[in-house]
Amino acid sequence: MFFNSIITVDNLPLPTGEECGIVPSEYGCSARVTWFDDGTSEVHYIADPNFPLDSVVTQTERKVTTWSGEYITNKYISFNCQASNNTPCNTVENLKHAILSTMWPTNEQIEKFDTLIVPTTDFYGSTCLQLLNKSNCPITNLLSCQQCMGIIEYSKTKGVCAMCPAGKALTNSYEHETIFFLRNKTQADKITLACRRRGACNSIENIDRIKNELVIKFDFEKFYRSTASITRSPMMILFLIVIIGFFHADCGQ
């Protein structure tokens, strides 16, 4: 669902059309909001195999078009779960609580790293950092590369891909994705930096700075308190109905 406005917890839409049906899924279920720089938003309630179960995934993306110099910031948050007993879990309420439990970096903090992705024609691919210590890394091609790239995954180990891959550099960018695992209250981060300037702009030091200073925080306790209150509310209503029923029965005797 696409909206020409900024979606908040106060106007988060219910699923409509194909997204409102309950269907069995061998994959996880996902409820996701994307906020675009131009003030528009997208909301989806879907089956999604790409995210880990019982998690909240957030991403901040900052990019600049190399030919125009226009900077934009996009963000998204996704609540991911496994449904049981034909009961949907990727609900509006769970997505709302994920949003309320998340603290994003400020615009000032995000724009602080614009110096890493500023467009320039002063570029030599041979000066990019070349380091591959994980599988599935893009391959350097100095004959056709147009920007340095660095990808670091921070989890139990630190996986690094740093290279100058083939392809056109239409944008310079960085992305900070964080996965918050709800069961054990841990997180894993992934930073992707694509930059074009003289020197090793894709250095581990630059990417570490983004990870350490552009922090997305998630309040696990607040999230669990919120979801617990949803579970208790129907039970409390049922309890009150029973008590009132007994009270009226006693009064009638």
> Quick check: 170 and 119 in contact, CB under 8 A?
no
Query: Taking CA 127 as the corner, what is the angle to CA 125 and CA 128, rounded to the nearest 5 degrees?
Result: 70
Sign of the CA dihedral running 203, 180, 77, 27: positive
CA Rg value for the chain = 23
Coil, helix or strand at residue 86: coil
Band (48; pLDDT cuts 50, 70, 90): confident
Q: Is 69 left (phi over 0), alpha (psi -120 to 50) or beta?
A: left
Number of domain units in the chain: 1
CA atoms within 13 A on the CB side of 17: 8
Band (32; pLDDT cuts 50, 70, 90): very high
Q: What is the model's pLDDT at position 19? A: 56
Does residue 147 sit within a domain? no
State yes or no: pLDDT of 18 exceeds 70: no
**DSSP letter at 236?**
H
In this predicted model, what pLDDT tens digit does every residue of 54-97 receive, in sequence order?
Answer: 999 999 999 999 889 999 999 999 999 987 777 788 999 999 99
Q: Residue 83: which domain range? A: 2-119+170-193+202-237
Q: What average pLDDT does the segment 184-197 reach?
A: 95
Q: What is the model's pLDDT at position 5? A: 95
Among 99-103, 143-147, 200-204, whose mean pLDDT is lowest?
Answer: 143-147
In this predicted model, what pLDDT tens digit does every residue of 225-250 receive, in sequence order?
Answer: 877 654 444 444 444 444 444 444 44
- List the structure tokens of 197: 């300037």
State yes or no: pLDDT of 124 exceeds 50: yes
Identity (one letter) of the amino acid at 177? E
Q: What is the model's pLDDT at position 83? A: 76
Q: What is the pTM of this model?
A: 0.84
Does residue 24 sit within a domain? yes
Does residue 114 sit within a domain? yes
Does residue 129 sit within a domain? no
In this predicted model, what pLDDT tens digit does every residue of 203-233 receive, in sequence order?
Answer: 999 999 999 999 999 999 999 987 765 444 4
Query: Taking CA 34 as the corner, what is the angle to CA 175 and CA 66, rounded to the nearest 5 degrees?
Result: 45
Q: What is the model's pLDDT at position 244? A: 41
Q: What is the model's pLDDT at position 160? A: 96
Q: Name the strands in the sheet holding 71-81, side by side, starting at the edge strand that comes first in the sequence.
A: 2-3, 41-48, 28-35, 71-81, 55-65, 171-181, 186-195, 148-154, 158-163, 131-132
